[in-house]
Amino acid sequence: MARFMHERFHKSTNAIDISQKDNAFTDLKSTAETPKILRKSPACQWAGTKRHTTPSIYTKGEFYPHPSRLYTQVPQSKKLRWGVEESFHTSIFFVVREGFLSKIGLQTLGLVSSRFREMSRDVPRLLGVDFSSLTQTRLGYESQEEIDNNRVEKLSAAAVYYGLDLGLVTRYLGQEFTGLWRDTDAILSRVSPLVSKSDADHIKRILTDGCPAEFDFKEPHDNKMLLLERGNEPSIDMHIGAVNEMLNEEERNNHVIPFLDGLYSSRP
């Protein structure tokens, strides 16, 4: 399996190195555990909503809203689309999430690359993580000195649940991420007399659809893999302290959403 994936799916990149034996699982404990069924969670505002997945795949209970409900609250503009070209990388996540691979299959997948190794371990585990508390008001955020790993774990669980659709994760989180607390009609009524109709229309579009006005791009698979292999700019490692301080400030103010690294390469 590892040889097949290496030869057939990754000829254009250097992402795979099945010769690195330290990428193999040393044990199967992380994939052998069955996620606990999360039947009750008072922290969740979505309790009682209809789940959009089959019970055989998800064991979280009926706590999280259907994508259609999220899109009803925050519609998606047809002029704003971005995605990655279909490939094995964008498909294997769903194979792992839906439980189609045995423990041995997950172990073999971990031999392909370090990214697949992380994804194969993280995804089954994250299926059992209750992330409903993410919708609660963050208390004491202003004194946060570093990004909370527990929050990153929950955000990653939400991403797994919603199929790595970051738009759905953003809609689920709400609050500052969607700005639904803004009174768009009141803003427009105050602004419209002061600007041209064209400017008022743009302001309405910004408040409802977001920015940019139009964006339609499907990124080639090879381009994404090339950027992943290239990694961060050298200046980031040179000033990692300042970078971490800046990222902490952005995260505590809900300006960015951090995820576990192993999920990104499988993002559709």
pLDDT tens string for the chain (268 positions)? 444 444 444 443 333 333 333 333 333 333 333 333 343 343 444 443 444 444 433 444 467 888 888 988 888 888 888 888 888 888 899 999 999 999 999 999 999 888 889 999 999 999 999 999 998 888 888 899 999 999 999 999 999 999 999 899 999 998 888 888 889 999 999 999 999 999 999 999 998 888 888 888 888 988 888 888 888 888 998 999 999 999 999 999 888 999 998 887 777 7
- 3-class DSSP assignment, residue 181: coil
Segment holding 82, helix H or strand E: strand 80-84
Instruction: Note if the bond before 212 is cis, omega within 30 degrees.
Output: yes
Q: Where are the domains of the chain?
A: 2-266
Amino acid letter, 246: M
Distance CA 162, CA 157 (A): 9
Other Cβ atoms less than 10 A from the Cβ of 83: the count is: 13
- Residue showing tokens 């330290």: 22
Q: Which residue has the tokens 């139009």?
A: 214
C-alpha 217/C-alpha 165 separation (Å) is 16
Residue among 143, 139, 175 at smallest CA distance from 257 = 175
* CB atoms inside a 10 Å sphere around CB 123: 28
pLDDT at residue number 4:
40
Record the tokens describing residue 224, joined without a space. Answer: 């994404």
Q: Is 157 helix (H, G, I), strand (E, B) or coil?
A: helix
Burial 166-175 (b: 16+ CB within 10 A, else e): eebbbbbbbe
